[in-house]
Amino acid sequence: MSLLDKTASELLADLEAKETTAVEVTTAFLEQIKKADETIGAFLSTRDDLALAEAAEVDRKRAVGEPVGLLGGLPVAIKDLLCTKGEVTSCASKMLAEFRPPYDATVVQRLRDADGVIIGKTNMDEFAMGGSTENSALGVTRNPWNTSRVPGGSSGGAAACVGASMAPLSIGTDTGGSIRQPSSYCGVVGLKPSYGRVSRYGLVAFASSLDQIGPIAHTVEDAALLLEAIAGHDPADSTSANVPTPSYTASVRQPLQGLRLGIAREHFGDGLDGEVDASVREAIKVFESQGATVRELSLPHSKYAIATYYIIAPCEASSNLARYDGVHYGYRTDEKAMLAELAEERKVLEGAGDRAKLEALDTSLVRMYRKTRSEGFGAEVKRRIMLGSYALSAGYYDAYYVKALKVRRLIREDYDAAFKDVDLIIGPTTATPAFKLGEMNEDPLAMYLQDLYTVSANLAGIAAISVPCGISKSGLPIGLQLQAPPFEEERLLRAAHMFQQATDWHTKRPN
């Protein structure tokens, strides 16, 4: 079996048995990137020499009997909005195309501590705003199952690189479904941990109360391994929860007895593709065959989740992205050209004797701010900044933002009530398989509705996972979503692993 065909857990077992080396494994994946990424476009950069040096150091430690970390030389790809010291962290934006952070994000440091080999940085929707990775300022990523389709977003590169066997593990982020949706589209496993389970220190923020970092892999066992490496309290992050972190690798293979699953009737209504519906219902039967009981329940406020999310997230984005002003760091407009433009406008207005327009003419500072942000941000980022700024403005703050926060609380209370009667909630990850590139570019609302089944977990701060559960007649993967109460990732992983033990959807790979 090729190294590329093996799961992360299988590769780790080979490394520990000294049947292969970290350098050999890293080399195999770097060669696959060179072979496949010209078509897929999952990576913005690779770290060939640095990655091989990191792999060689792990091999040295293993050879002399020094302790080796949990990841033991496994290559890991990182979504390009996690700070890596001295290396470009662009957020797939012109605004940060040359930004080199002076420090590592906590997750990046934990990967290094666990002897993970950071193989490269992956493409994404600009500042994580989008659901197709078509909003990247640095290029489009394609779905490895069908290159005319999107890989999902915003972690499209992170999911596509695992789906195309260019990395055994990757790190994505999930603000409203940005790990789970692309994982569903690319036929891989993607986990959104509970809010606070993984440190956000060093994550370039989109919406601070919603963003969460998590693993993408071929199997649930691999996702458990990567989560264990990155999870845990971090004093540098005030939103990091100071709660115990279980050994997910030790418990993931233990089946759950008496598992109670809930089906939210709101997740099986209009708009759900027939093939997705059938695949998810077959997956539910698999759990029933393993002794699980299933009951229908309601999440009555879930119908407001999209509207609530697309007020809260843009408001937080508007606040977070205010820092990109052309002064502190990042992109800055061409000042020489700008001043020349300003002088020419002033000359024309003076010649015309138009004093009113002269007095209203932008100052050089205001113009620099305006041109920097206009040139540095893409269309979707601008759209969300404007939405958020409007909702936060005087006269609208109470009507929109405050009301959205109240509905968010009701959504969380729906989950709290549901989890009194069930252990997990089961349903589709997305309403359809991956859509065509360009299909929704002119209809932002249709794009936003792709998050229909995923945003609620972010609003409620709970844990959720997507696992492959079928393939459509057109050859596209279908994802099953499981949702768990806050900080019950262990339960979530064990249940998802049970499903994978009884099925083989996770073993399917694109041609």
Residue positions annotated with a catalytic role? 79, 154, 178
CA dist 434 and 438 (Å) reads: 12
Angle between the 8-16 and 22-40 helix axes, to the nearest 10 degrees?
160
CA dist 56 and 41 (Å) reads: 27
Cα dihedral sign, 486-487-493-495:
negative
Please check whether residue 209 is in contact with residue 178, taking contact to mean a CB–CB distance below 8 angstroms: no
CA dist 76 and 12 (Å) reads: 13
Place of tokens 């929704």: 440
CA dist 366 and 375 (Å) reads: 14
CA dist 204 and 206 (Å) reads: 7
Q: Which amino acid is at 391?
A: A
The runs of H, that is alpha helices, within 65-198 are 106-113, 156-163, 180-186
* C-beta neighbour count of 273 within 10 angstroms: 15
C-alpha pair distances (Å), 175 with each of 146, 397, 405: 26, 22, 16
Q: Which amino acid is at 226?
A: L
Collapse the DSSP code of 396 into the 3-class scheme (helix H, G, I; strand E, B; otherwise coil) and give the result: coil
CA dist 96 and 332 (Å) reads: 10
- What is the tally of helices (H) and strands (E) in the chain? 18, 11
Q: Which amino acid is at 287?
A: F
Please check whether residue 3 is in contact with residue 166, taking contact to mean a CB–CB distance below 8 angstroms: no
DSSP string, 434-498: PPBTTTTTT-HHHHHGGGTTTHHHHHHT-EEEEEEEEE-TTS-EEEEEEEESTT-HHHHHHHHHH
All residues at 6 or more sequence positions from 297 whose CB lies less than 8 Å from its CB, including other chains: 262, 263, 264, 265, 418, 421, 422, 425
Angle between the 305-320 and 379-392 helix axes, to the nearest 10 degrees?
100
Largest CA distance in the chain: 85
Q: Does 154 sit behind a cis peptide bond, omega within 30 degrees of 0 on the bond before it?
A: yes
Dihedral of the alpha carbons of 389, 394, 397, 398, in degrees to the nearest 10: -170
